[in-house]
Amino acid sequence: MLKNIKVNLSWLALMVLGFVVLAVFYVTGLMTPVIETTLVMIGINIILATGLNLVIGFAGQFSLGHAGFMAIGAYAMAIITLRMPTFTGFLLGILVGICLSGFIALIVGIPTLRLSGDYLAIATLGVAEIIRIVIMNFDSLTNGPAGLFGIKPFVTWSMVYLSVCLTVIVITNFIHSASGRATLSVRDNEIAAEAMGVNPTKYKVIAFVIGAMTAALAGGLYTSYFQTIMPQNFDFMKSIDILIIVVFGGVGSITGTFLAAILLGFLNMFLQDAGTIRMIIYALALIIIMIFKPSGLLGTKELSIKKLFKKGGRMNVTTRSK
């Protein structure tokens, strides 16, 4: 019990330290608008990628529909905030987006998560495209292809940072819970898990719903920070961008997701002045990494503080078996 308290306090201290460092950068003026925007996008991408990693890396389901759930959260927050331009309206919009996204994921997940592999990928991609097409054609509410503008900016870098911390706490606690262990057993061997009394569809759906809700949170934060959204912000390539972060960091590694989002975020920032060749350089960097590190930067390894208290030694990296 004492060891768990020490571990939790250590992680809390790391989160507080990260916030203090960023606050010092902001107060001293070292955090330029470009760096702030980059950090916000990194935070939003971490929220998106950790949710998708839960679905792909821990539940073993290949989903390409994450951008659709992000769009639900983005448009729900935008529509409500435009009609109620207060912080209360912003929070209400975030909450409605999360709940609506979770409900749709539940309705969609029950039939589609009985599929697997390529079939599931195609089904989730179809769901995301349906959501985007509905948004484009619901002119009276979403303003169609033109999108929504003039959304009040309630989101700051500090709010994104706290949202990242909250998302990671929720997902990591789920992974280490009884439900999380059941989800991992379904990923490792669905037939064996079912023989032991685990309901595979139930735990797949739970992971899918949590992933969708985190995507909606990220969508709401993105919309409020940039103050404008259009349906093309949530097309197929957005789902691929999130998937790249998951694969690049390591499928099944939350630590890897953090590392990949940070590296790719700053790589994008440094390549802003490269013009049209920016995407070529970006793609080549990804290809080189995946050739020499096909399992991602960390594979299934996670940063573990428990080892520090268990052995009284250095902080170690643990590997989760797949």
Q: Walk along the chain (322 residues) and give the pLDDT tens digit of each residue.
A: 445 567 677 778 888 898 999 999 888 888 888 899 999 999 999 999 999 999 999 988 888 889 999 999 999 999 999 999 999 999 999 999 999 999 999 998 888 877 776 778 888 889 899 999 999 998 888 888 888 998 999 999 999 999 999 999 999 989 989 999 999 998 888 888 888 888 888 899 999 999 999 999 999 999 999 999 999 899 888 888 899 899 888 888 899 999 999 998 988 888 777 766 767 777 777 788 778 777 788 877 777 666 665 655 444 455 554 4
- pLDDT computed for residue 312 by the predictor: 53
Looking at residue 307, its pLDDT comes to: 63
pLDDT of residue 275: 66
Per-residue pLDDT, 288? 81
Q: What separation in angstroms does the CA of 103 have from each of 36, 75, 131, 201?
A: 33, 15, 13, 16
Dig out the tokens for 159 from the structure: 């709010």
Task: Return phi, psi of residue 303, to 5°.
Answer: -70, 130
Fold designation for 2-21+34-319: ABC transporter involved in vitamin B12 uptake, BtuC (1.10.3470)
Q: What is the pLDDT of residue 42?
A: 95
pTM above 0.85, yes or no: yes
Cα separation, 281 vs 279, in Å, equals: 5
Q: Is residue 317 classed as helix, strand or coil in its secondary structure?
A: strand
DSSP 8-state assignment for residue 65: -
Burial status of residue 278 (CB atoms within 10 A of its CB: 0-12, 13-18, 19 or more)? middle
Supply the pLDDT for residue 1. 45
Which pLDDT does position 315 carry in this prediction? 46
Max CA distance (Å), the chain: 62
- Residues in Cβ contact with 277 at an 8 Å cutoff, skipping those fewer than 6 apart: none
- Give the pLDDT of residue 230: 92
Tell me how crowded residue 128 is: count the other CB atoms within 10 A of its CB.
24
